[in-house]
Amino acid sequence: MARYIFVTGGVVSSLGKGLTAASIGLLLERRGLKVGMQKLDPYINVDPGTMSPYQHGEVYVTSDGAETDLDLGHYERFTHSPITKNSNFTTGRIYLSVIEKERRGEYLGSTVQVVPHITNEIKSAILKMATHDLDVVITEVGGTVGDIESLPFLEAIRQFALEQGRDKVMFIHLTLVPYIRAAGELKTKPSQHSVAHLRQIGIQPDVLVCRTEVEMDDDMLGKLSLFCNVPREAVIEERDVRTTIYEVPLMLQEHGLDEIVVRRLQLPAGDLHLDDWREMVQTIKAVDEELTIAVCGKYIQLNDSYKSIYESLAHAGISQRVKVKLKKVDAEAVERDGARAHLAGVDGILIPGGFGHRGIQGKIEAIRFAREEGIPLFGICLGLQMLVIEFARNVCGLAPANSTEFEPECPVPVIDLMDEQKGVANKGGTMRLGAYPCTLKEGTLAHSLYGEARISERHRHRFEVNNRYRQLLSAKGLVFSGMYVEKDLVEIVEYPDHPWFLAVQFHPEFQSRPLTPHPIFKGFVRAAQQRARAAKSRASVAGERS
Ligand code: GLN
């Protein structure tokens, strides 16, 4: 019988609920428990797949092909929880399912209402996660307590605790304890109000996790305990971390959170094993070598748009013991000022995925610059498509080469809509999504990086390399080193006449973990490191001479 933990958030959004939930998951796993992680999102989109990255940040793709919230990326990076389409439910998905049932006549003539029909649907979504022999299911409730749209979810988890038994369910509330600089004081009032709101709905938090800038003293913790009706030892400080998010679980553990959860839910937990994680955090803090990777895309203003890519670069840096500094370069700025103005001096260039016409010329120029200057280049999804267009135009002399995504009547469509996409009209959930196998060609960079011939990676795209142009491209030196053989789709391309020039149609960033970085990211960062070291030693020789 699984136990359940619900993580809610109060006062403001962006408190790091996903990170906190993932950290709790990690601590419980490191005590020998099997953990499942799930997120409930209050918005009406059926999934975030149709939302702009500016609205929602990255869309995280699961191996079974669901387009989900980026917090699931934290769950996968911190834990081994099964992450599937059952790991993320939105209000839209819940309502869609209820309305479909109503149309099929499954409610037998009753009036369909928020309580009980929507709340029942939410409770069954939670139970869908409780398979897989899990000891604990951790469900994060998106949004902020007090929002109109969160209400059905809060009502559902209240009912859930009543039905399962209060001893099997735990409520953890993440709140903000703001520091008022002018008064030099921390303030508990917003937390008091948000807990009061939860209690009005019938939810008494068992644990209060307090996000704070400064250390909380005993008085403060005691005051929160008293006003929020939470035992003193269960009021936990979660201070802003300076160096790395991977420190959050260590901090929560120091305040005894794992033990509080284990005791409260009577979990069959063992001793805590966290040494490798601690060592990893120590490594991040200790490295002093640095390199710079330019990420050239169109959503660079927002940190969350390429979340998993940034994390994957950091993971590769940990294993290479080098700090990866990011230079976020707006592809439209490259279009305006030329590649050199923005990319000279970087040690590697990464072209991430994307949709639509804006900024593509800048990406093509960034790729040309990397190719001609011998700078390591890594393209992901749209990045691969841009690499192929650049190569067709500037190496193969096919000036009009383009993708039919940007130019439907293009005379040289080196990138074209996949056959299976022709005739697809709906936008939601209709791309080529999720994990597919890929076969690697022996003797290529891709094969040497993975060290095996058959891999599996996650996808999210509609367009592909047009097989009609493959021969022409390979005659000029482009190597198709990874293929989805079953459908003859290009998955990886590389250019051996260059220090490191490789692009993938899939999204490797969804499979990188801090302790097991992804092989392609590792190879890319290693190549960038070699370039940075070479530049440094050239500079020091020049310095000695002068
Ligand atoms: N827009 C491109 C396609 O649909 C690339 C998608 C992506 O980068 N995720 O194929």
Q: Tell me: the pLDDT tens digits for 382-405?
A: 999 999 999 999 999 999 999 999
Average pLDDT, the chain: 94
Which residue among 279, 313, 346 closes a domain?
279
Domain that holds residue 109: 3-43+92-279
Q: Whose CA is nearest to atom 8 of ligand 1?
A: 353
Angle at 142 between CA 141 and CA 144, to 5 degrees: 100
Our count of domains for the chain comes to 2
Q: Point out the ligand 1 atom lying closest to the alpha carbon of residue 381.
A: 8
Those residues with Cβ within 8 angstroms of residue 125's Cβ, 6 or more apart along the chain or in another chain: 40, 86, 89, 94
The torsion region of residue 229 among left (phi > 0), alpha (psi -120 to 50) and beta comes to left
Task: Please list the active-site residues.
Answer: 381, 507, 509
pLDDT category, 56, cuts 50, 70, 90?
confident
Residues 382 and 523 in one domain: yes
The CB of 506 under 6 Å from ligand 1? The reply is no
Residues 501 and 468 in one domain: yes
pLDDT category, 11, cuts 50, 70, 90?
confident
pLDDT at residue 544, rounded to an integer: 78
pLDDT category, 420, cuts 50, 70, 90?
confident
The CB of 354 under 6 Å from ligand 1? The reply is yes
Q: Is 429 part of any domain?
A: yes
pLDDT at residue 301, rounded to an integer: 77
Domain CATH number, residue 452 = 3.40.50.880
Q: Whose CA is nearest to atom 6 of ligand 1?
A: 461
Q: Is 78 part of any domain?
A: no
Q: Tell me: the pLDDT tens digits for 167-202?
A: 999 999 999 999 999 988 899 999 999 999 999 999
Between 22 and 427, residue with greater pLDDT? 22
Residues 322 and 303 in one domain: yes
Which residue among 279, 297, 322 closes a domain?
279
Residues 244 and 353 in one domain: no
pLDDT at residue 332, rounded to an integer: 94
Q: Is 540 part of any domain?
A: no
Residues 129 and 272 in one domain: yes
Residues 241 and 332 in one domain: no
Flag whether pLDDT at 242 surpasses 90.
no
Q: Point out the ligand 1 atom lying closest to the alpha carbon of residue 463.
A: 10
pLDDT category, 428, cuts 50, 70, 90?
confident
% residues pLDDT > 70 (the chain): 100
Q: Which of 382, 384, 484 to mutate to test the pocket of ligand 1 (most atoms within 8 A of CB)?
A: 382
- Strands (DSSP E) along 422-478, which ranges? 432-440, 454-461, 463-465
pLDDT average, residue stretch 76-81: 96
Q: Point out the ligand 1 atom lying closest to the alpha carbon of residue 431.
A: 4
Q: Tell me: the pLDDT tens digits for 447-464?
A: 999 999 999 999 999 999
pLDDT category, 427, cuts 50, 70, 90?
confident
Q: Is residue 284 within 8 Å of 244, Cβ to Cβ?
A: yes
Q: Tell me: the pLDDT tens digits for 284-341?
A: 999 999 999 999 998 887 778 899 999 999 999 999 999 999 999 999 999 999 999 9
Give bridge partners of residue 454 from the DSSP assignment: 439
Residues 267 and 299 in one domain: no
Domain CATH number, residue 204 = 3.40.50.300
Q: Is residue 42 within 8 Å of 143, Cβ to Cβ?
A: yes
Residues 112 and 170 in one domain: yes
pLDDT category, 542, cuts 50, 70, 90?
confident
Residues 192 and 293 in one domain: no
Q: Is 373 part of any domain?
A: yes
> Ligand 1 centroid to 352 CA: how many Å?
10
Between 13 and 332, residue with greater pLDDT? 332
Which residue among 225, 257, 279 closes a domain?
279
pLDDT at residue 430, rounded to an integer: 86
Q: Is 513 part of any domain?
A: yes
The CB of 298 under 6 Å from ligand 1? The reply is no
How many whole angstroms separate alpha carbon 358 and alpha carbon 52? 14
Flag whether pLDDT at 132 surpasses 80.
no
Residues 260 and 302 in one domain: no
Q: Is residue 304 within 8 Å of 503, Cβ to Cβ?
A: no
Q: Which of 402, 403, 405 to mutate to test the pocket of ligand 1 (most atoms within 8 A of CB)?
A: 405
Burial of 505 (0-12, 13-18, 19+ CB in 10 A): buried
Flag whether pLDDT at 509 surpasses 90.
yes
Residues 329 and 475 in one domain: yes
The CB of 353 under 6 Å from ligand 1? The reply is yes
Q: Is 487 part of any domain?
A: yes
The torsion region of residue 255 among left (phi > 0), alpha (psi -120 to 50) and beta comes to alpha
> Ligand 1 centroid to 382 CA: how many Å?
5
Question: pTM of the entire structure?
Answer: 0.94
- Using DSSP's 3-state secondary structure scheme, residue 435 falls into strand
Q: Is 419 part of any domain?
A: yes
Residues 270 and 325 in one domain: no
- Using DSSP's 3-state secondary structure scheme, residue 42 falls into coil
> Ligand 1 centroid to 71 CA: how many Å?
21
Q: Is 448 part of any domain?
A: yes
> Ligand 1 centroid to 250 CA: how many Å?
38
